[in-house]
């Protein structure tokens, strides 16, 4: 079962409230997304930790129902 873009955004913002989230549906099939997540809380964290925080927000869906999510993280 693919995930809707809004659900991805909602889950990320629930866990990282200040996050600015941009989701792009890469293939138009509701299954291949790119997400850019910008949050002040990423400051000072290595990239791996920044990505892990987003994956945690998605509660185990990454690598499962969410196969293809290209992720970019940044500080404002």
Partner 1 sequence: MTDDARSRIDSTVKGNDVVLFMKGTPLFPQCGFSSRAVAILEHLGVEYASVDVLQDQGIRQGIKEYSDWPTIPQLYVKGEFIGGSDIMMEMYESGELSQLLEDQGVATAH
* Closer to partner 1 by Cβ: residue 40 or 67: 67
Give min distance, CB of 6 to partner 1, in A. Answer: 21
Give min distance, CB of 12 to partner 1, in A. Answer: 15
* Closer to partner 1 by Cβ: residue 13 or 52: 52
Phi-psi category of 60—alpha, beta or left, where left has phi over 0 and alpha has psi -120 to 50?
left
CA separation, residue 18 to residues 14, 26, 29, 37 (Å) = 9, 25, 28, 10
- Residues of this chain that interact with partner 1 (CB under 8 A) are 47-48, 51-52, 55, 60, 62-64, 68, 70-72
Residue pair 33/69 in contact by the 8 Å Cβ criterion: yes
């Amino acid at each position: 079962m693919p995930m809707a873009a809004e659900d991805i955004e909602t889950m990320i913002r629930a866990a990282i409230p200040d996050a600015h989230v941009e989701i792009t549906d890469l293939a138009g099939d509701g299954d291949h997304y790119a997400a850019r997540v910008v949050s002040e809380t990423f400051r000072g964290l290595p990239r791996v930790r920044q990505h892990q925080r987003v994956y945690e927000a998605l509660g185990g869906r990454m690598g499962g129902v969410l196969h293809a999510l290209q992720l970019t993280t940044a500080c404002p």
